[in-house]
Amino acid sequence: MLVGLWTSQPAPALGLRVIVDREAASGRRVWGVAGLVEAISQSLAERFSVVAVGGEISGYTRAASGHSYFTLKDADGLSASLRCAMFRRASAMLDFTPADGALVELRGRVAVYEPRGELQFVVEAMRRAGAGTLYELFLKLRARLAAEGLFDQDAKRALPSHPRRIGVITSSAGAALHDVLTALARRAPHVQVIIYPSPVQGADAPPSLVQALRTANERAEVDVLLLVRGGGSLEDLWAFNDERVVRAVAASALPVVCGVGHETDVTLCDLAADLRAPTPTAAAELAAPARESLLAELAALERGLTLSLDHRIHTLGQRLDRLALRLSRPSDALARQRLRLDLLAQRAAAAPGRRVEMQRQRLESLAPRLRRALADALQRRSAALDALLSRLQALDPQHVLARGYAWLDDGQGGAINSAQALTPGREVRAVLADGSAQLRVLPPSAG
């Protein structure tokens, strides 16, 4: 239940700023915006100078300046809410860390934030008053599922050390997906990412998240799943406290990394997953090892292998030297080495010839294919040229003239395309299919 206590203290006389409507004959006053807001602020300060109010914290954030901002809701589930601001001095005096869902009692004053004309409660002191309704539901569900063993550490599985495909379950329009894709592109560009989109907030989120988990397990196309979303209030993250989603995470055959909210946000899906990440970006970093570190490991293995081989070669060389000293007949050893060298020389001499023969056979097998390809290309080009020739001939004016038409010009190549240009006595030239004729324009005959 919301409990409020307040006392009244005398306030200074109101210094109100007004604007006089010069056009109003009645002389009525018209408030300016700043004057009206100031009047409301001073009225609130006069009546609610010191107030105690209880409720449930929602959307708590602490700025880099040390100031804290949050919304206080009625713990009984009523729809009323109050914006609150706690400045650095008051925040520094707290003996606990406020969190969403916590039930608290505040002492402060009601004021108006003049730049936006918004009502706010300026908190001077805060103390804990118990857990909020939603937070109590969270604790009860957590205890019941923990008793069933859904959060047991023995059931957690290790993530694959070198995943080839990573599945991401989140909203396709959220910032969390961008953060994950950015981290994977920077850290492990060789890993393929498959997205299973689902809403992450609201009434439709729990069944959609369960379906996304079921789809990913049925398709079995990824090595590990990332269940992520950005930060928010306890209400915003409640889909990840839904019992259906928590059980689906615990029952997943694929390893699940849960990165929901910020570092201080903990959901039941975080507890049921095989690994909890503080943020979506951290989930991506935990699921895929950095490409640079893998390359460094390979380089270290290469160096170790090279040193081992060098050491082995040196050891065998020393052993060979000792055996050579023990030989009673060095000439036999020289003969064997000479024979071996001769065999190697024969193989070296024959190797280029075999390679040339193999290349020749390969060229012979490719020659017919090349001839066929050239013939096909020539045929296609000829067909294209025939088509272009037909289109060109269809546009030839000579074909039009052959059908009985003629065209007139002024004797200098300029076309005559209007009867108004045919003045009596003018000489024109008529071009026909088989030649041309010089004509004179006669005046129209009377009658």
* Confidence at residue 217, expressed as pLDDT on a 0 to 100 scale: 94
- Given a contact cutoff of 8 angstroms between Cβ atoms, the answer to whether 57 and 70 are in contact is yes
* Confidence at residue 19, expressed as pLDDT on a 0 to 100 scale: 35
- Helices 205-219 and 243-251, packing angle to 10 deg: 10
CA 361 to each of CA 354, 358, 366, 367, 419: distance values in angstroms, whole numbers, following the listed order? 11, 5, 9, 10, 77
Q: Which tokens go with 435?
A: 């030649």
Query: Which ranges in 327-421 belong to alpha helices (H)?
Result: 330-394, 397-402
Distance CA 370, CA 178 (A): 50
Q: What is the DSSP string of 79-113?
A: S-EEEEEE-HHHHHT-SS---TTEEEEEEEEEEEE
Distance CA 192, CA 164 (A): 6
CA 146 to each of CA 102, 142, 243, 249, 272: distance values in angstroms, whole numbers, following the listed order? 22, 6, 12, 14, 9
- Average pLDDT of each block of 10 consecutive residues along the chain (447 residues)? 27 35 53 79 77 88 91 78 91 84 87 84 85 74 90 88 92 89 89 92 91 94 93 82 93 93 83 91 87 78 88 87 71 79 85 82 85 89 89 77 79 78 82 82 73
* Confidence at residue 369, expressed as pLDDT on a 0 to 100 scale: 86
Q: What is the DSSP letter of 160?
A: P
Torsion sign (Cα): 128, 130, 131, 133: negative
Q: Which tokens go with 297?
A: 């490991």
- Given a contact cutoff of 8 angstroms between Cβ atoms, the answer to whether 225 and 215 are in contact is no
Distance CA 208, CA 152 (A): 26
150's enclosing H/E stretch is none
3 state DSSP class of 188 = coil
* Confidence at residue 118, expressed as pLDDT on a 0 to 100 scale: 85
Q: Which residues fall within 8 angstroms of residue 77, CB to CB, at 6 or more apart?
A: 133
* Confidence at residue 7, expressed as pLDDT on a 0 to 100 scale: 26
Q: Which residues fall within 8 angstroms of residue 232, CB to CB, at 6 or more apart?
A: 59, 201, 261, 265
* Confidence at residue 10, expressed as pLDDT on a 0 to 100 scale: 35
* Confidence at residue 181, expressed as pLDDT on a 0 to 100 scale: 92
Q: Which residues fall within 8 angstroms of residue 386, CB to CB, at 6 or more apart?
A: none
Reference 181, options 304, 281, 320, 49; nearest CA is 281
How wide is the angle at C-alpha 391 spanned by C-alphas 389 and 393, nearest 5°? Answer: 70
* Confidence at residue 67, expressed as pLDDT on a 0 to 100 scale: 92
- Given a contact cutoff of 8 angstroms between Cβ atoms, the answer to whether 409 and 416 are in contact is yes
* Confidence at residue 169, expressed as pLDDT on a 0 to 100 scale: 94
* Confidence at residue 99, expressed as pLDDT on a 0 to 100 scale: 84
Q: Which residue has the tokens 């409301």?
A: 40
